[in-house]
């Protein structure tokens, strides 16, 4: 763990992993007040949050809006876990027809936006050979959700790696990104808590774009991202077991040290930077300015 990452405060909540105030974290890492604390929070799923931590979200952190980036697959898996069924809650595309209502905590404005749905899922499926595509379609038709995910994981997602999947989310998740950043562009939605299952990669991608928009240096963004590995250590063994069950390798539970560099490199090479990328998604200059005005420390 780098010296910078060690500066990142551990989660103050006992039942919500990887939770932190992004503004406060960045200011600590920079040793300078760049962002306004208390407006943007990131973390893992709050589904099992205790009554005390749910109260903290509203009464201590004053959170108004929650952005849930998970897929229907993950919501279904969480429901299976609650009901004592054997399942997996690893990040996976929405490739099943079953639906289930996500757990929502009273008192917050919820925005459920599956960052790995739609065009992203189709792009992964079309990377399969015809034989494996037929296998996935057949498994889906028979209701074998885990088997379908395993084929997609082994044949496409593992070879792509976390950096490849992150850049795929950028390239094919433009509709979802536009919806997410529309929320961030409205000052009335803050404070905002954004999460996925672990608050690591999809959450990390959204936070990375926000921080780049606010001109946060890449090494500081990386230190914040890498802190998630430490914060998720308590559930790593369980997460690795779940991932292996559906075809993922152990390293998907970790934070690659070159992930931030790889994603930023893709943004620069393909789009010419974060501002141009956001324009391509439909987040215009006015919206970008509103986000910066909210997040940047007013001097």
pLDDT value at 167 more than 60: yes
| Residue 296 main-chain phi, psi, to 5 deg | -75, 140
Q: What's the pTM value of the predicted model, to 2 decimals?
A: 0.92
User: Across the chain, what does the average pLDDT equal?
Assistant: 91
Q: How confident is the model at residue 72 (pLDDT cuts 50, 70, 90)?
A: confident
Note the helical H segments in the chain: 3-6, 22-30, 51-59, 72-82, 119-125, 130-142, 145-152, 158-172, 174-184, 202-213, 218-231, 236-245, 259-266, 274-281, 285-295
- Please state the rounded mean pLDDT for residues 219-243: 96
Domain boundaries, the chain: 3-10+17-294
Instruction: Find where tokens 């919501």 sit.
Output: 75
| CATH number for region 3-10+17-294 | 3.90.190.10
Q: Please tell me the predicted confidence (pLDDT) of residue 292.
A: 98
Distances (CA, A) of 156 to 12, 121, 152: 37, 11, 6
Tokens coding 275? 């501002």
pLDDT digits (tens, 9 = 90+) for 112-166: 999 998 899 999 999 999 999 999 999 999 988 889 999 999 999 999 999 999 9
Strand residues in 10-53 grouped as ranges (E): 20-21, 40-43
- Please state the rounded mean pLDDT for residues 73-97: 61
Q: How confident is the model at residue 82 (pLDDT cuts 50, 70, 90)?
A: low
pLDDT value at 100 more than 90: no
């Amino acid at each position: 763990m780098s010296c910078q990452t060690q500066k990142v405060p551990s989660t103050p909540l006992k039942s919500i992993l990887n939770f932190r105030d992004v503004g406060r974290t960045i200011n600590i890492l920079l040793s300078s007040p760049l962002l306004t604390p208390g407006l943007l929070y990131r973390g893992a799923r709050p589904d099992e949050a205790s009554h005390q931590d749910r109260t903290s979200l509203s009464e201590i952190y004053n959170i108004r809006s929650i952005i849930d980036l998970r897929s229907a697959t993950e919501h279904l898996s969480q429901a299976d876990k609650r009901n004592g069924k054997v399942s997996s809650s690893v990040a996976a595309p929405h490739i099943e027809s079953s639906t289930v209502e996500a757990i929502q905590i009273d008192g917050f404005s919820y925005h459920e936006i599956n960052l790995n749905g739609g065009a992203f899922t189709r792009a992964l499926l079309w990377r399969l050979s015809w034989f494996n595509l037929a296998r996935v379609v057949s498994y889906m038709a028979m209701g074998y959700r885990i088997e379908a995910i395993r084929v997609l994981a082994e044949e496409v997602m593992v070879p792509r790696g976390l950096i490849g999947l992150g850049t795929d989310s950028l390239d094919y998740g433009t509709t979802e990104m536009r919806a997410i950043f529309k929320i961030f562009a409205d000052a009335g939605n803050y404070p905002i808590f954004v999460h996925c299952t672990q608050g690591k990669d999809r959450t990390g991608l959204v936070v990375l774009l926000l921080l780049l928009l606010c001109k946060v240096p890449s090494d500081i963004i990386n230190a914040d991202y890498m802190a998630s590995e430490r914060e998720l250590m308590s559930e790593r063994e369980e997460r690795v077991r779940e991932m292996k069950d559906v075809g993922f390798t152990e390293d998907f539970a970790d934070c690659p040290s070159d992930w931030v560099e790889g994603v930023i490199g893709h943004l620069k090479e393909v789009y010419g930077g974060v501002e141009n990328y956001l324009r391509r998604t439909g987040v215009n200059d006015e919206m970008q300015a509103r986000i910066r005005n909210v997040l940047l420390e007013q001097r």
